[in-house]
Structures are given as C-alpha cells and as structure tokens.
Structure 1
Amino acid sequence: MLSNGGQTVSVKLFIDKEKKRVLFAESDKDFVDILFSFLTLPLGAIVRLFKKQAQMGCLDELYKSVDALGAEHFQTTVCKTMLLSPVNAAAFHCDRLKVKVDDANRRVFYVSTSKNCMNFSPVAGGCCSCGNWSCQSFWECPQDVLVTVEGNGDGVFVKGGLKYIVTDDLQVSPASTSLVFSLFDRFGLQEQAKIEEKILHLNANKITSLLKRALMSKQALTWLCFEVSAASPGAVNIDKQLGKKQANETPSMFTAIKIKLVHTKDESSVLYAEVGEDFVDMIFGLLCFPLGSVTKTFGQMPPNGCISTLYASVDGSARGCVKHECRHMLVSPQLAPFFGCSKNILQADELPPRSLTFGCLRCLRITATTEKPCNCILQPHLARKPTYGTINEINPKSAYQRAYIKGGPRNFLVTNDLRVIHFSLTNTLQILREARIPKEKLVEKEIALNKTQVLKLVRAALVTRDALGSVLLPSKE
C-alpha cells in the first residue's frame, strides 16, 4: 500500500485501552521480514538513520569522531566513507523488503573506466591499481535471491502463507489458538475483555522510529499508539553484562593493546586515554558490525530494549518459520566483504568477495545467465554478440590492508565517552579545561588491555557513556 509517506506495511494491533498498552500484533510475512531485518543493520547505519542521535552508549560520539577526523589519519579516503555508511551484508535481501529501513542505495557498484580492468567496488573511490572509478548503476538482483523471495510466495526471511503474532517486546511466533490463549493468561485477561483492534499502515519513517523504540524500550509496539517513556539506562555493571563465555575465553592469538589512561587520583573519573592506531581502529570498526552480531556476543543488548527478544525468536518461537537459507544470516550476521577491521574482537565473519558476470561492455549489465541478452543488442546500431566475463570485488581500503587507520607512530586522545581526536598539545589542554580538574589531582597509568578487557570495553561502548571508567577503574559499588 502507498501513502503520502511512501510504501507502507499493515499490522493489526490488539490494544488494552484501559491500561494503554498494546498486547500483541497480528501480521503477515512483510512486517516480520522488516523486524528481522533490524538484526542485519550495521551499527553505523543505525546511527546514520537516527542522524547521530541513536543514544546507544558511545556510538554517536564514535560516529561523529569518524566524521570529524582528518583524512590524513585513514589508510585511504574511502575508509571514512566505509565507516560512515557501512554496507549491510544482507543488502540484496533487504532490498526486497516491502518497506526499506536503510535508505542507502546499494544497487550502485563502482567500476574502472579502463576496459582492461576487471574489478569493482561497492564504495566510490575504492583503491585500484588501474586508476579512477566511475559510477555505473548496473546491479541486477542475483538469481538465487530472486528464487528465494519470489518462487513460492515466501517472504524475504520468513515463510509466507502464515499469520504471525508479535508481542509488545517483539517476540515473533506463528499465530495459533493455543498461543492466543496463553497470551490471555499472561495478561490476566478474560475472553470477553474489551480489547480494541486497530490496523496501522507503517511507512519507512514509522518503521525507523519503531527500530529506535526497540533499542530503548521493551514496549516497542505500545509506542505506536501511546506515549511511553524510555527506561533510564541507570548504572551498568559491565562484569555482569559480559557473558561467562566471553569473560572466561582464552585470549588466543590476541596482541595486547597498550594505552595510557589519565584519571583522577581518587579513581572517581577518567579524563581521557592516549592511544595508538590499533585502539582507534578497533573501536571505529564497531560501526560496521551488524546489530545481530553484537546481540549474539553479549546477549541482552541494549539492556533496556527488546532486540534480544527479537533475536531469540529466530531459533526460538519462530523456529520453523524462518527460511532455512536465511537462518544463519539472522543468528550470525556477517560483515560485508572487506568491512572488518584489524582486530575482529567480536569474531564475526566477513562475506567472501563477490564475483559478478556481465554480458555487455557498453551497459555493464549484470546477468545470472548467458542466455538472456542485454537491451543494447536489440538496438540495430549497437547490434553485436555480447561478450561475457567476470569482474571481481576488491578491497576498497587497499590491496593488503584490513585496518581503517594508518599505522606508524601516531597517537590519539580518546575521552571517557569515546570521542576520538588526534593527539596535540592544544587538544590535551582543551580536555583539561573542559574537565576543570587541577593537574595535581590527576594521574597517568599505562595499561596493556587483554582480550577480556577489550570485550568489556566494547560492551561498555554499546550501553554507557562511561565507557573507559566503567571498565578500567575499580567498581563504584
């Protein structure tokens, strides 16, 4: 359905008007597909969608820092673009959603103007030995995606022909009488209770707002009808938040990250840390990780939201409804090719580089078969037999680099809320002035961060603005 706000998806809400809450919703595959697509979104894409006001720990500051940091600190200029607009590894699937959450155009690949170059990049300005890139919109949905989406009435991620029940905290289940009865029992309702039914048509703006509410509240659907205050984040105990599996993990093949921490002598607060490029590359790289991958690693994430409930539905209440070929994409979301960083602390895999077959040097039409000619061959003055070939995806950063930040002797200042600036005397004095803490009350401490500490720091970056202090200073409890 189309509205003034663009394409919409419908959902029927069952509302307890007396208590001003949504009990649950009934929908078809389209709405559930959109909900599950949240898990595939890179964190940086979420911050961009919310215009740098995601309010997820320190992510806003990290994003702003990438935007403000000079290009001379990155391996190439394209590294900045990759962090500010990270590619969704499931972009081909998400492009088939009835209402798209991410508005980025992923149909444009960049190829060289040289006819002898057989490379392409998903990012403008990608590094190639042959020269410049030019923008050509030549993407055509791969055949395997078309089959899974259009072949038998199924959705993008879930099976069609079913009705789904979605609870206020986004638990997804196939609709059934027993489920409805159990929900009545859960809410203490009688069959004759006054429950209002309301059909909403949600456009992209409403879906984006629903995502934000899901990150901040366990009443994501209620927000669609009533004003609901987001829960206060409160104090965060990172040791409790970190799962036993991560906290006790043997640090194999991990090189310690050395930093210098400047904090008050009474250990009440952190001013900043002086760090090298390895630390900055690691925290900037968080922006490219999918929401589902951090939920997989840390469990309840964010702590006051309901994304973890949605994530658990894939292998839980919605098990059997998620298409087999899409399950791994949701429970273990991958990064797009080459979008990892130098330290893959969350151990999320990257998709392998792609190869695309084209059938016309003039229009660079991508094809899944050599039997269907492009439109150029139908024009008399262009008539010729198409030449089929393969172009390969290359690393946009540079041929042999995983890092976004240049190596070498360069230092940065990172504040407690993970604002990153280059090291200089001027920037150091500015932080000291803003803190209004006498130098005599400060102390510098060298720390070699092990893998467990880094995992805790990553977790802290997602849930609190006291990232450095909550991990590197003694607990305030």
Structure 2
Amino acid sequence: MTADIYHFNNDSCKLLSLILVPCFLISTAGMAAAEEVQFTLRVMMIKESNKVLYAEIDSDFADVLLSFLTLPLGTIVRLLVKHYGKNAPIFGSLNSLYAGLLNMDDRHFWTLEGLLMLAYPRNSSEMECSRLKLLIDDTPPTRYFMCSNMMCVSMYYNMNCRCSNSGNMMNRNDVAVGSQCGVKSVFTVPTALFILTDDMQILTNSPASVLRILKLNAIKDTNALEERTLIVGRNEIMELLKGSLVSKTPITDIILPMSSADDSDTLRETRKFFASAKCESDALPQTQTSQNISSDSKKITVKAFVQKSTNRILFAQTRHDFIDFILSLLTIPLGQVQFLLGSSTHLGSISNLYRSISDSENVEYMKSRDTIAKLLEPQIAPYYLSKYQIFSLSQQKLPVFHRTLVHNEIELCECSHSELCTSKITTFDPKGQDSYVKGPMLFIVTNDLEVCTAASKSIISILDQMRIPVFDVEEQELDIGMEEALSILKATLTSTSALTNGLQPFLKSRPKQQT
C-alpha cells in the first residue's frame, strides 16, 4: 500500500502495528524467496502481427493463475495499488470504495478488527495458496491467539477478549490453521501440462487444442509462426492479474511488451495505454446470474438524489445497513463474483480463466471435485458474513479449538482427536454485532461509491461543487434487493459511475414534457 494514495487514520495505524507486524515477521522469509521465483514459458507467435497464439505452461503456473479467482476484491485493489502506485489501473469504482473505507473514522465500526477485516480481507483458500510456487498475495496468514485468561480465542493479536475477566490476546499461545504437510499440488495435478491462450483460456496441452487454436486464428501455414521464450516472474504475474481485468489479450498487450527489447512506437503506445487502463464499460448489459431472485429477498432502502435533466444519480443518502453491504463487496472472492454474475463480468479476460475450470477436458487434471467447487464458487472467510449481506454467500466453516496441556502449559489445539485436548474454547466474531458498521447512522455515498458521513458533506457544498442548480435535483427512494444488488456489483467492477450505471434502470421514469 502506497502512503501517497491510501491513508489510515491514527487509530487504525496503531491497530496495524499491533496486528500486522507479528504476522509479517512470520511470513517475511517466505515472501522474500517468492520474489525470486521465475517461470520459463514457450510462446507461439504470429510473426506478421506479433500476436501471441498461446503459451505452454505447467501445473505450477496454472495454479498461480487460478489463484486469482480466490482473491477478495479488496485484496486485488490493494495489491494493484501497492505494486503500481499512482499508475494502478482503475478497477471500476472499487478503488474509490477502498480509499473511502480507509478514510472512514474507526468510530463508525463496531470494532477496529472489523475495519481491518475489510481493509485486509482473508482468503478462504489461503491454505491452498500458501503452497503456490509464487504467491502475490501479501495478506498476513491467519493465526489465532488465546487470551490471558485462557478462556477465548481471536484471530487478531493483542485485542481485548470477550470473556468475563477481559484481558488482552497473547501471542505466546498462537496456532496457524489448516497446514497440510507433504501436500505438493494446489489446484491442478502436478503432472498436468496446459496451454494458455492470449485471452486467458487454459486448455490441455494436446494436438487437438493446438489444432483448434490454429483454426480459430485462421492459420493456414505454420511457417507464419515463430517460437519465443518468455521469462515470467513476480512483476509479470502482477501484469497478468492487471491484464486479466483490463485486456482481452493480456499476453500480447502487456507481458510481451514488458519483456521485449524492441522500443518501437507501437510498443511504447501499448505500454502507455495499459499503464492507465480502466476496467470500465459505459453500456452494461442486463445481468444474467445463477442467483435466485425472489420477492422475499432482503431489501435495503436508500434515497437517491438524481439530476432530472440527465437522469444521473449524483449521490445517495443511506443508512449504515447499505454502507455495510457495499463495504462487504471488498471481501467477496473474484471467483464468487463470476458465479454471482453468471461468469459475465465484462472484465478483460478473467471470465475465460473462470470458464476454463469447468472445461470437460480439464476436469481430470484438476486436483479434485472439491477443488473445482472452491474455484467456481469460492466461500468467504470465517466471520466475514454480515447480517446486511444481500447475496446468498457461503461462509467457510468456523474453526473449533480445544485446550491442550503440553509440558504443563495450556496451548491451543485445532482438533479434538488428541488425548491431550480438553475442553472446547470459545471463538468470537471480531467484527462485532454480526455486522461491520455501527448504526443507526446516516451516510453519503458518491456516484463512484466513496463513503462519508452525511454530516461531513452538506448537500449545498455537493451541488455547488458539481455546479448543478437545485431545481434540477429530485429525490427518489429505492429498495435494494437481489436484482439491484447484482446490478450494483456489476457496475462496481466496470464503471466509475457505479450508482448511476447500477441503479439507473430502477429509477422511476418521469413523464416526458410536451413541446
């Protein structure tokens, strides 16, 4: 995270020092080693157009690409901003949503831990991703700490516990959850070999796949092709993550120019374009989703302030429940977003990667059916489900801890199989009252989803800043249910005007004035 772009307030900085520092010390050595990892890819090119047809990849590289789908949206924004700084791509309205979160006063949250959960969302597949040959996610690994009374457990360091004799969480009796010693594979079987197309499809490395690609690209003469070697490290993986969100052909558009010594005008323009690329779409097609939309789904009411002359939503006045919902979008894994929107997010080429998982030829090369399910519909991490969540999300099973006596000292034990394990120990929801944001309270949400308290921005200053006359503004009340929430989600990914693009179809139509 770059200090000149996102800022924590003072109290939040104290929280980071208490929680993140111990965890970073645990993982620093592993991350330093990860930065040195490189992959060597054989890339087949069309000589005349300098376009990539495909690259040959192994299971280790395929696992890294598939791990993109396990990353929560907030983690993706944070990683891109940390890596690219001021040149980070604009990820729809997620950048401003994340920046608004960091600028919120921590007093608006039930707990400081709840704020940190949103700023550093956990990956429910972190156990699997910890075995990746190259891990780009720098989120500290989940650990659990027992309080000084040895009565309750939290996943945050040095935080106040919830038992009757309230004390602090201790770092002495901590435990990492879910390690799998001896397991080498992550998502695909270790012997698998694949082909990665320029639009991020993963295919089995077979003559049939190659022939299909040649026919799709109208290649009649193999003399038109040439083979190149591409070295891919951490920087290139970050470029692929970015490219999968902003480009239909990320290897040709981004990876190849990075590695090429040719500094032609064409390559310079390519670099310039994708350095400032935006995941934005002006026309959002109607959402097709696997979610069942019913009339009895949860609804949240907001007041939208609309410019009558343009039918554009200027901002919305909302209660804490809607703020809780939109902030929790940052915790949803990218693969779950693909599932919610029927794999049609209109982001770069990430949908092709998602669809590759269920390709009939790839299924036997995936580690297991359970692995396929984890990628196609990733769960959110434990404790992350809010009571104001509109989507029907599945939450990872909560860990169960017991006390165990080792060398005459009480320690944590994740399972109860050991004869040394004694009574069950209580874990508590770190975010507070089954939600993140305190209420009742009124907030303002801008068109690009930046959140602030209603008192901090008066309607007069907002209209003055936008140069919009009062007579051109009207208020409309909207009920946000499943259909509206899905539309907001899609717009959040692809537009810097998420409120307008997401909710405009649901505004009341005004009668046309007769001329």
**TM tier, shorter chain?**
0.7 to 0.9
The residue number in structure 2 matching 1:323 is: 367
SS, match of residue 117 in structure 2: helix
Describe how 1:236-255 pairs up with structure 2 within 5 A.
236-238=282-284, 240-243=285-288, 246=291, 249-254=293-298
Q: Which runs of 5+ in 1 are unaligned?
A: 372-384
* Residues 453 and 94 of structure 1: CA distance in aligned 2, closer, same or farther (over 3 Å): same
Describe how 1:80-229 pairs up with structure 2 within 5 A.
80-114=115-149, 116-121=150-155, 125=159, 128-129=162-163, 130-136=166-172, 138-140=174-176, 142=178, 145-146=180-181, 149-150=183-184, 155-189=185-219, 190-203=221-234, 205-222=235-252, 223-226=254-257, 227=267, 228=270, 229=273
SS, match of residue 195 in structure 1: strand
Please give the alpha-carbon distance, in whole angstroms, between the structure 1 residues aligned to 2:189 and 2:303.
52
Please give the alpha-carbon distance, in whole angstroms, between the structure 1 residues aligned to 2:70 and 2:155.
21
SS, match of residue 200 in structure 1: strand
The residue number in structure 2 matching 1:61 is: 96
SS, match of residue 67 in structure 1: helix
Shift of 1:81: 0.2
The residue number in structure 2 matching 1:375 is: none
Shift of 1:302: 4.0
Describe how 1:374-385 pairs up with structure 2 within 5 A.
none
- Find out whether 1:35 has 2:65 as its counterpart: yes
- Find out whether 1:471 has 2:505 as its counterpart: no
Shift of 1:233: 5.7
Q: Is the 8 A contact 2:340 2:486 kept in 1?
A: no
Q: Is the 8 A contact 2:490 2:502 kept in 1?
A: no
Per-residue CA deviations over 1:27-78 (Å, capped at 9, x if unaligned) read 1110000011111000011111012745221111111111111111111111
- Find out whether 1:290 has 2:326 as its counterpart: no
Report the residue type matching 2:363 in the other structure: R
* Residues 232 and 423 of structure 1: CA distance in aligned 2, closer, same or farther (over 3 Å): closer
The residue number in structure 2 matching 1:422 is: 453
Q: 1:451 aligns with which of 482, 486, 507?
A: 482
Please give the alpha-carbon distance, in whole angstroms, between the structure 2 residues aligned to 1:176 and 1:359.
55
Q: 2:435 aligns with which of 384, 403, 409?
A: 403
Q: Is the 8 A contact 2:290 2:341 kept in 1?
A: no
SS, match of residue 51 in structure 1: helix
Q: Which moved more, 1:222-231 or 1:451-460?
A: 222-231
SS, match of residue 364 in structure 2: coil
Shift of 1:469: 1.5
The residue number in structure 1 matching 2:79 is: 49
* Residues 186 and 353 of structure 1: CA distance in aligned 2, closer, same or farther (over 3 Å): same
Describe how 1:226-375 pairs up with structure 2 within 5 A.
226=257, 227=267, 228=270, 229-230=273-274, 235-238=281-284, 240-243=285-288, 246=291, 249-254=293-298, 256-316=299-359, 317-324=361-368, 325-356=370-401, 360=406, 364=411
Please give the alpha-carbon distance, in whole angstroms, between the structure 2 residues aligned to 1:362 and 1:17.
68
* TM norm structure 2: 0.79
The residue number in structure 1 matching 2:8 is: none
Among the aligned pairs, what percent are the same residue? 28
Shift of 1:104: 1.7
Higher RCO (C-alpha 8 Å, min separation 6)? 1
Please give the alpha-carbon distance, in whole angstroms, between the structure 1 residues aligned to 2:506 and 2:482.
19
Shift of 1:265: 2.2
* TM norm structure 1: 0.85
The residue number in structure 1 matching 2:10 is: none
The residue number in structure 2 matching 1:376 is: none
Please give the alpha-carbon distance, in whole angstroms, between the structure 1 residues aligned to 2:505 and 2:378.
34
* Residues 396 and 417 of structure 1: CA distance in aligned 2, closer, same or farther (over 3 Å): same
Q: Which runs of 5+ in 2 are unaligned?
A: 1-31, 83-87, 258-266, 508-515
SS, match of residue 135 in structure 1: strand
Please give the alpha-carbon distance, in whole angstroms, between the structure 1 residues aligned to 2:417 and 2:392.
38
* Residues 119 and 367 of structure 1: CA distance in aligned 2, closer, same or farther (over 3 Å): closer
Q: Which moved more, 1:324-333 or 1:425-434?
A: 425-434
Q: Which moved more, 1:214-223 or 1:289-298?
A: 214-223
Report the residue type matching 1:62 in the other structure: L
The residue number in structure 1 matching 2:25 is: none
Per-residue CA deviations over 1:382-432 (Å, capped at 9, x if unaligned) read xxx97777655431123xx22111122x10001111111001164433322
Please give the alpha-carbon distance, in whole angstroms, between the structure 2 residues aligned to 1:126 and 1:241.
46
Shift of 1:331: 0.8
Q: Is the 8 A contact 1:359 1:367 kept in 2?
A: no
Please give the alpha-carbon distance, in whole angstroms, between the structure 1 residues aligned to 2:157 and 2:300.
30
* Residues 445 and 15 of structure 1: CA distance in aligned 2, closer, same or farther (over 3 Å): same
The residue number in structure 2 matching 1:19 is: 49
Shift of 1:370: 7.5
* Residues 281 and 8 of structure 1: CA distance in aligned 2, closer, same or farther (over 3 Å): same
Q: Is the 8 A contact 1:96 1:156 kept in 2?
A: yes
Report the residue type matching 1:349 in the other structure: S
Please give the alpha-carbon distance, in whole angstroms, between the structure 1 residues aligned to 2:171 and 2:301.
41
